[in-house]
Amino acid sequence: MIVTLIVACEVGFWVLLAGGLSLRYLARMPRAGVAVLLLEPVLELVLLIATAIDLKNGASADWKHGLAAVYIGFSAGLGHSTLRWADARFAHRFAGGPPPVRPPKYGTARTVHEWKTAGRWILAATVAAALLQAAVWYVGGSGDVSSLRAWQSTMLWVAGINVVVALSYTVWPKKAP
């Protein structure tokens, strides 16, 4: 059930995104578009509640519950930047907006971009790890939480890799040809 709900939330994210941007730019109803886009966090809330109910009803904590926490974390850390990315492209394609700004390729600007990206991934990993820890406490000592702990380790790796990438651009900035 949890995996199906995760898939439904992901599909719902893109449907709400397309619907909100269509209302905003194609139907020229910006307030209605914003209202639809503001429904996006409701999907994560539904997933969080369903996961908690599933654990409360005696389901053993496994990879699916961990995946739900990771999905919510990534939505929290990367959802806003995904909305901005899609908004810029939709505005350009359908509303005569300026072309989307590409990330800088060289120098300090590229380093700053990489640190901002790392910050979003670190936020995502932190939210996911916190939700996973909450699930570990929720399950308590009565259940096996090894899969939740494994997801926490994965989130540490995700954050670490992003820091290493950003640090590499700091130490060895990419130079213009």
Domain limits, the chain: 2-171
Cβ contact 77:127 at 8 Å: yes
Q: What is the mean pLDDT of residues 107-136?
A: 97
Stated pTM of the model: 0.92
> What average pLDDT does range 8-24 have in this prediction?
96
Q: Which of 66, 50, 175, 42 is nearest to 131 (CA)?
A: 66
What tens digit of pLDDT does each residue of 86-104 get? 999 999 999 999 999 999 9
Q: What is d(CA 31, CA 8) in angstroms, rounded to the nearest whole number?
A: 25
Quote the CA–CA distance of 138 and 53 in Å, as a whole number: 11
**Tell me, what's the pLDDT at 4?**
94
Q: For the residues 34-55, what does the mean pLDDT come to?
A: 94
Closest-CA residue to 145 (of 159, 134, 158, 155): 134
Angle formed by the axes of helices 146-171 and 63-95, to 10°?
40
Q: Which residue has the higher pLDDT, 60 or 35?
A: 35
Residues belonging to the chain: 177
Residue with tokens 């394609």: 93
CA 36 to chain CA mean position, Å: 18
Write out pLDDT tens, residues 140-164: 877 789 999 999 999 999 999 999 9
Nearest-angstrom CA–CA distance, 46 and 39? 11
Q: Provide mean pLDDT across the span 118-135.
A: 97
Q: CA separation (Å) from 163 to 130, 158, 166? A: 19, 9, 5
Q: Is the pLDDT assigned to residue 59 strictly greater than 90?
A: no
